[in-house]
Structure formats: C-alpha cells, structure tokens
Amino acid sequence: MTAIADRLDLRLSVEDKNRLRRAAELHGLPVATFVREAALREAETTIAHPPKARRGGLAARLRGRATARMGTDEIMKLTRGD
C-alpha cells in the first residue's frame, strides 16, 4: 500500500458534498477514498485519451470580432470553444 503524504483541498457546494457523501456511502467507502479513486480514474482516462487541442486560444477565437456587437451567449460560446 502506498503511503499517503500529501493533501488536496477543494471547495464544494453543500449539494455537491452531499452527492459525494451519498455516492461514497453506496460504495461503502469513506468520502476521501471515494473522491481520490474517482479523481485518479478520471486522471488516467484523460492521460490515456487526451482531449483534442482547441484551435487557438480565446484571443485567437475573438480576433476579428472585437468590433462586432456580441451578446453574452456568443461570448460564452467562444470562451467554451463551441
């Protein structure tokens, strides 16, 4: 068994913490163990199958649109890379 020597703190809403607590209970695990195992699974999946790189950053996506009147929805789509 690997010794655990470091910590990771995160802030959650009450609702999210309750969801994690419930899921951990269903697996019969402490919340910390459940979260650690889920996060490590996701990390391995992401490393094995990296997301496709976006074409350019936000600045590149916004280039040429600065003078146009853009609505909030359009700006949000650009920031998400939609």
pLDDT in tens, 43-68: 999 899 887 765 666 666 666 655 46
Residue pair 24/34 in contact by the 8 Å Cβ criterion:
yes
Instruction: Return the pLDDT at 56.
Output: 63
Question: What is the C-alpha separation between 17 and 23, in angstroms, rounded?
Answer: 10
pLDDT in tens, 7-42: 889 999 999 999 999 999 999 999 999 999 999 999
Question: What is the C-alpha separation between 43 and 57, in angstroms, rounded?
Answer: 23
